[in-house]
Amino acid sequence: MKTKPGLSIIKIGGNIIDNEQLLSEFLTDFSELKGHKILVHGGGKKASEIAEKLGLKPCFSNGRRITDEAMLDVAVMTYSGLLNKQIVAQLQQFGTNSIGFSGADGNLIQSEKRKNTEIDFGFVGDVIQVNNKLISALLVQNCIPVFSAITHDGKGQLLNTNADTIAAEIAISLSEEYEVELIYCFEKKGVLLNSEDDDSVIEVLDFEKYQTLKNEQTIHSGMLPKLENCFKSLNNGVHTIVIGNQKTLKNKAAATQIKL
């Protein structure tokens, strides 16, 4: 079997994006990372901050936050505009030839508006297709794609989409051609055994252990969809998954490795 080239896909969350110093340190490390790479970023607190300044009221349906048209506009402006271009400009400064994308650009990530009989989530999209051909063509030309968490439905509608899921779907799609390493950087050093103890990092988390910890409710709330994304990715060809903080690029051993 021919060896596939390596590809690192790194997703960063709000804690890094919201902190100028952390973001700059992370982007320096990202620039120094060898080989093919892709960055996926969320939006942090900036979108809520701008929405509030614009006088928008958060919108809920049955207790669930929904993305109405005004909030979608703020998400597009903030994620695909301000944050994406600031990240790209900083990477250019470090000599990393990055290009910022929404899923509409080059039809890179197509999604469909979430269907739910009980709740209308508004302009939220679930990924249905990744244009891996164009992403590959860019990687071959040493362009580094930087994805914001906005996709489109192919019918002219932009959609707000979970950044963890975007990272996972890109990873799955590109694992046909690449040996993909997916790294989630968030506010903790890894998946914790005790959410009160930042040093209780689980070194290796496999599916069986995950099931046990989930049933015990040791792992709960926001970690559940993140880990479901991870296991789905591993089951669909992604080679390696690591969950840690912004220092993980430099020190993977301190983070949590997810295994089947």
Of 86, 90, 75, residue with least CA distance to 44: 75
Q: Say if residue 103 carries a ligand binding annotation.
A: no
Q: Is 99 in the site for its own copies (CB under 8 A)?
A: yes
Q: Say if residue 114 carries a ligand binding annotation.
A: no
Q: Taking contact as CB under 8 A, which single stretch among the options 113-121, 133-141, 171-179, 217-225 is the one that binds its own copies?
A: 133-141
Distances 22 to 16, 26, 125, 198, 208 between C-alpha atoms, Å = 6, 6, 29, 18, 34
Binding to its own copies (CB under 8 A) within 33-72 occurs at: 50, 53-55
Which residue's entry shows tokens 């051909």?
133
Contact by Cβ (8 Å): 133, 178 = no
Compare residues 73 and 120 and give the one whose CB is closer to its own copies: 73
List all residues 6 or more positions away from 176 whose beta carbon is below 8 Å from its beta carbon: 132, 237
Compare residues 160 and 256 and give the one whose CB is closer to its own copies: 160
In degrees, to the nearest 5, what angle opens at C-alpha 16 toward C-alphas 189 and 203? 15
Q: Say if residue 35 carries a ligand binding annotation.
A: no
Q: Which of 33, 77, 193, 254 binds its own copies (CB under 8 A)?
A: 77
Q: Taking contact as CB under 8 A, which single stretch among the options 90-98, 173-181, 184-192, 214-222 is the one that binds its own copies?
A: 90-98
Q: Is 160 in the site for its own copies (CB under 8 A)?
A: no
CB atoms within 10 A of CB 87: 22
Contact by Cβ (8 Å): 165, 124 = no
Distances 55 to 46, 50, 51, 176 between C-alpha atoms, Å = 14, 9, 6, 45
Q: C-alpha dihedral over 99, 256, 221, 8, to 10 degrees?
A: 20
Residue 177 CB, shortest distance to its own copies, in Å, is 17
Binding to its own copies (CB under 8 A) within 180-239 occurs at: none
Q: Taking contact as CB under 8 A, which single stretch among the options 1-9, 87-95, 160-168, 194-202 is the one that binds its own copies?
A: 87-95
Beta-bridge mates of residue 109: 130
Residue 78 CB, shortest distance to its own copies, in Å, is 7
Q: Taking contact as CB under 8 A, which single stretch among the options 60-68, 151-159, 201-209, 248-256 is the one that binds its own copies?
A: 151-159
Q: Say if residue 95 carries a ligand binding annotation.
A: no
Of 135, 35, 39, residue with least CA distance to 90: 39
Q: Which of 26, 79, 184, 186 binds its own copies (CB under 8 A)?
A: 79
- Residue numbering of the annotated binding site: 43-44, 65, 160
Per the annotation, where are the binding residues for substrate? 43-44, 65, 160
Interaction site with its own copies (CB under 8 A): 50, 53-55, 73, 76-82, 84-86, 88-90, 92-93, 97-102, 104-107, 134, 137, 141, 143, 150, 152, 154-158
